[in-house]
Amino acid sequence: MLDIPSRVRVHVETPLAAQNDMGVCDAFEQYAPVREPDAMNAPHPSKVAGIDATVPSPAHTVAPAPTTPAAPPVPTGAGALLQDRLAGWVSDLTTLHELTERLARTATLPDALRELLRAGSALVGARRGLVVLEPADGLGPDTTIGLGLGRADLGHIETVPRSSMPYGRILDGLPGGEGEIAQPDLLAEDGLDPRHREVAARLGYAASYALPLASGADRLGAAVWLYDEPAEPAERQRHLAGLYVRYAAEHLARLLELERTRARMTTMTEELLPSRLPRVSGVQLAARHRTGPRGGGDWYDALPLPDAALGLAVGSVTGSGPSAVAAMGRLRASLRAYAVMEGEDPVAVLSDLELLLRLTEPARSATALFAYCEPALRKITLAGAGHCPPLVVGERRTEFVETSVSAPLGMLACWEAPSVELEAEAGETVLLYTDGLLHRTGDPVDRAFARLHAAAAGVPRSIRHDPGAVADHVLRTMLPGGPDAADGTEDIVLLAARFE
């Protein structure tokens, strides 16, 4: 046999920092360089007595018995060291992949901040920590979230002078706050602020490790992890935590922009709705409104009318986003004008509104319900255009009002439907709502109506005198997770009127 010498050499003195910064392919190139084989070492098909080995053997030749494959050689020395390092890199990449996947599944800013703290504590080996979100542009939102720290603990930390805390140095751009800040033994530090020393002893932490949260050149905040004993993360832990925090900062920047957009949409929608409900003798009013994450066109209104009357209205504009919100504002303002002029005839009010919508916004449709109320007589005259029927809740009955079936506004060349009269008894509450309340349940329409009826029928007698409490009970019963956590993107409007 030929003795073929190995042409592979392994360099084992590479610094650990270089190992962490190179990829697996780069490691192979450095540790095991590939060279052209020598001529004498190039494989050749063997020949015996001038016979080419590629000629197939005769058919009568017995096939060679299968041999048991030899066990792979156990790496020793430099080969074992390289294999261990590669296994460590694969393990680190797997850990980072799992943690970033969990972070990417968070859809809200508070959830993402809590996940950042949990993952970071596992990477640096700390038990507690806090993250301070304070964008440098000053547009907010500013918040502080703790891991293993209660509100009182966070309050104690906030009493420490900001310049003495690592997150304060990072957020304020003080010297030493450009990157990571490690304090392996707080109580042994010279010049530590006395208040910081007192709070650390009270909360029982002896070391900290802080990292800035920045997306590009935009500073978002800082994360700090606290150790119960004097300690600091190893070089490998710092490297992994730095990679994870850089990814987390980009994810937080996206959620921050989404949060700001939602806040703007909510503010704009709330400004287009009544700032307060009117006080009219003989009736008590309460309203509940939730704007969907994309901003919708659901609205409500209550306005005093001549002769001690009251106009109640709810409606919904198709679409979502700023366009739908603006259309909702125009529609509500127009309905108020028509209600003042001819509110005693709800059919005329909706007919005028439909004509305006068809002439000014022919590509848009809307549903609406307008009720002309005479509180002294407890009499209601209402008309609806493709809208959900009101629900009457009282001691003796809980039933939907029988309204005529009609198309939404803007769907027909000319809209008109007969009105319906209703007489409420003393103590009864009439609920007006939009279909977003039904859609948020995630059930089919018929089952959602049944849930609404059951929720209204189950209102405790002790709170039936308060229309706000009635509305809250209905929302809690229909949406156990809360209006903001329930499925669906539609707005929610619930207007309650209790007649005395």
SS3 per-residue string spanning the chain: CCCCCCCCCCCCCCCHHHHHHCCHHHHHHHHCCCCCCCCCCCCCCCEECCEECCCCCCCCCCCCCCCCCCCCCCCCCHHHHHHHHHHHHHHHHHHHHHHHHHHHCCCCHHHHHHHHHHHHHHHHCCCEEEEEECCCCCCCCCEEEEECCCHHHHHHHHCCCHHHCHHHHHHCCCCCCCCCEEECCHHHCCCCCHHHHHHHHHHCCCEEEEEEEEECCEEEEEEEEEECCCCCCCHHHHHHHHHHHHHHHHHHHHHHHHHHHHHHHHHHHHHHCCCCCCCECCEEEEEEEECCCCCEEEEEEEEEECCCEEEEEEEEEEEECHHHHHHHHHHHHHHHHHHHHHCCCHHHHHHHHHHHHHHHCCCCCEEEEEEEEECCCCEEEEEEECCCCCEEECCCCEEECCCCCCCCECCCCCCCCCCEEEECCCCCEEEEECCHHHHCCCCCHHHHHHHHHHHHHCCCHHHCCCHHHHHHHHHHHHCCCCCCCCCCCCCEEEEEEEEC
Distance (Å, rounded) from C-alpha 163 to C-alpha 398?
A: 62
Residue 310 pairs with which residues in a beta bridge?
304, 373
The encoded tokens of residue 1 equal 């046999």
CB 463 within 8 A of CB 278: no
pTM, 2 dp: 0.64
The encoded tokens of residue 410 equal 């803007």
* CA-closest candidate to residue 457, choices 477, 482, 433: 477
Distance (Å, rounded) from C-alpha 382 to C-alpha 346?
A: 6
CB 136 within 8 A of CB 212: no
Residue 60: partners with Cβ closer than 8 Å, 6 or more residues away: none
Residue 432 pairs with which residues in a beta bridge?
495
Residue 22: how many CB atoms within 10 A of its CB? 16
Residue 307: how many CB atoms within 10 A of its CB? 8
Domains of the chain, first to last: 106-265 (3.30.450.40), 273-499 (3.60.40.10)
The encoded tokens of residue 246 equal 């850089």
CA angle, 72 then 74 then 80, to 5°:
130
Instruction: Per residue of the chain (500 residues), give pLDDT as tens.
Output: 334 344 333 333 333 333 444 443 343 334 344 444 444 344 444 443 333 444 444 443 444 555 555 555 555 667 777 787 788 788 888 888 999 999 999 999 999 999 999 999 999 999 999 999 999 998 889 999 999 999 999 999 999 999 999 999 999 988 888 889 999 999 888 889 999 999 999 999 999 999 999 998 889 999 999 999 999 999 999 999 999 999 999 999 999 998 888 888 888 888 888 888 999 999 999 999 988 767 778 999 999 999 999 999 999 998 888 888 888 999 999 999 999 999 899 999 999 999 898 888 888 899 999 999 999 999 999 999 989 999 999 999 999 998 877 888 888 766 677 889 999 999 999 999 999 899 888 889 999 999 999 999 999 999 999 999 999 999 999 987 766 654 457 789 999 999 99
